[in-house]
């Protein structure tokens, strides 16, 4: 019995794979034995993200916009054409949007965030679920956020979109009743990343963001998370999580512990 969670041979489709969390997670999944289909709208960065993956990952990159249904159908078809199936779907692409209070937020920017973070997650599940339901097996892991569990100043639409991801996750889990398909989501907290820096910078309104020790003061772990600390995704992807569905998992160093 291996002492670590293994994903040998499983086909994992990951969106937002060129980003900070996505690229760390394809590495994690590949190191555990998964074969990888990496999807992002940034084609050149995708190539960089898969460059040093183990050969066993047989990495396929697909440049696609998750808000376009034809492109979503294409990335699912590309995975099935190359590997015959999809076992794991890490539905992770997302944007933070503008960092402004509601009364300054444009409708156009609001709709853009909903389009990527909610419509993109919906479309991904819409096209992956038939593949998984046909084989009566599979694991979907959506990326929400701790902003999907509480209010977050100046990122109202981001927060609303991540609340929606949790709702989509729970509903999809019910809709897979009686099948071997599981649907869960992860809620990362403050991860050391471009997205977090952009949010902190935007909240400070052009001034210096507060010093890091003040930020981490509200996190029991007393530090930011690293994108590489995503082993929960490997667990949820694996058969070890066979009785886990409809749940959301915080990966936040205790930030949301009441």
Ligand X SMILES: NC(=O)c1ccc[n+]([C@@H]2O[C@H](COP(=O)([O-])OP(=O)(O)OC[C@H]3O[C@@H](n4cnc5c(N)ncnc54)[C@H](O)[C@@H]3O)[C@@H](O)[C@H]2O)c1
CB-facing half-sphere around the CA of 97: CA atoms within 13 A: 29
Decide if 75 is catalytic.
no
CA–CA distance, 202 with 241 (Å, rounded to integer): 38
Which region among 39-47, 81-89, 99-107, 238-246 touches ligand X (by CB under 6 A)?
39-47
Residues 6+ apart with CB under 8 A from 63: 39, 40, 41, 42, 43, 46
Q: Which residues contact 28 (CB under 8 A, 6 or more apart)?
A: 228, 230, 231, 233, 234
Please count the residues of this chain forming the interface with ligand X, following the rule CB under 6 A.
Answer: 27
Pick one of 193, 238, 245, 250: the residue that binds ligand X (CB under 6 A): 193
Range in contact with ligand X (rule: CB under 6 A) among 20-28, 73-81, 202-210, 211-219: 20-28
Can you tell me which of 41, 182, 248, 255 binds ligand X, judged by CB under 6 A?
A: 41
Looking at the DSSP assignment, which residues form a beta bridge with residue 181?
Answer: 138
Contact between 124 and ligand X by CB under 6 A: the answer reads no
Residue 194 region, left (φ>0) first, then alpha (ψ -120 to 50), else beta? alpha
Residue with nearest beta carbon to ligand X = 19
145 is an interface residue for ligand X by CB under 6 A: yes
**Comparing C-alpha atoms, which of 43, 41, 82 is closest to residue 60?**
82
* Residue closer to ligand X, measured from CB, 10 or 41: 41
DSSP 100: -
Q: Does 40 bind ligand X (CB under 6 A)?
A: yes
CB-neighbour burial class of residue 133 (10 A; exposed 0-12, middle 13-18, buried 19+): middle
Hey, is 257 helix, strand or coil? coil
- 18 binds ligand X per the rule CB under 6 A: yes
> With CB under 6 A as the contact rule, which of the stretches 17-25, 78-86, 167-175, 240-248 interacts with ligand X?
17-25
- Per-residue x/- mask for ligand X, residues 214 to 253, rule CB under 6 A? ----------------------------------------
User: Binding to ligand X by residue 67, rule CB under 6 A?
Assistant: yes
Choice among 105, 158, 243, 249 that is catalytic: 158
Most distant CA pair in the chain: distance in Å? 56
Q: How far apart are CA 138 and CA 180, in angstroms?
A: 7
Residues in region 152-191 near ligand X by CB under 6 A = 188, 190-191
Nearer to ligand X, 40 or 98 (CB): 40
Q: Which residues bind ligand X (CB under 6 A)?
A: 16, 18-22, 40-42, 65-67, 92-95, 116, 120, 143, 145, 188, 190-191, 193-196
Active site residues: 158
């Amino acid at each position: 019995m291996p002492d670590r969670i293994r994903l040998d041979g499983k086909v994992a489709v990951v969106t937002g794979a060129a980003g900070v969390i996505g690229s760390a997670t394809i590495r994690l999944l590949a190191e555990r034995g998964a074969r990888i289909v990496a999807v992002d709208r940034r084609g050149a960065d995708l190539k960089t993200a898969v460059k040093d993956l183990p050969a066993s990952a047989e990495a396929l990159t697909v440049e696609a916009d998750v808000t376009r249904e034809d492109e979503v159908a294409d990335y699912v078809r590309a995975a099935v054409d190359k590997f015959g199936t999809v076992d794991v779907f890490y539905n992770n692409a997302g944007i933070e949007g503008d960092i402004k209070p509601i009364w300054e937020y444009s409708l156009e920017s609001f709709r853009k965030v909903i389009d990527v973070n909610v419509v993109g997650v919906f479309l991904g599940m819409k096209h992956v679920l038939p593949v998984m339901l046909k084989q009566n097996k599979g694991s979907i892991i959506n990326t929400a956020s701790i902003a999907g569990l509480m209010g977050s100043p100046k990122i109202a639409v981001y927060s609303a979109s991540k609340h929606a991801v949790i709702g989509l996750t729970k509903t999809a889990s019910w809709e897979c009743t009686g099948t071997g398909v599981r649907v869960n989501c992860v809620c990362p907290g403050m991860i050391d990343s471009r997205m977090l820096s952009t949010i902190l910078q935007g909240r400070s309104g052009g001034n210096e963001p507060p010093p890091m020790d003040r930020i981490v003061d509200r996190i029991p772990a007393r530090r930011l998370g690293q994108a590489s600390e995503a082993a929960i995704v490997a667990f949820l992807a694996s058969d070890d999580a066979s009785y886990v569905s409809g749940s959301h998992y915080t990966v936040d160093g205790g930030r949301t512990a009441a």
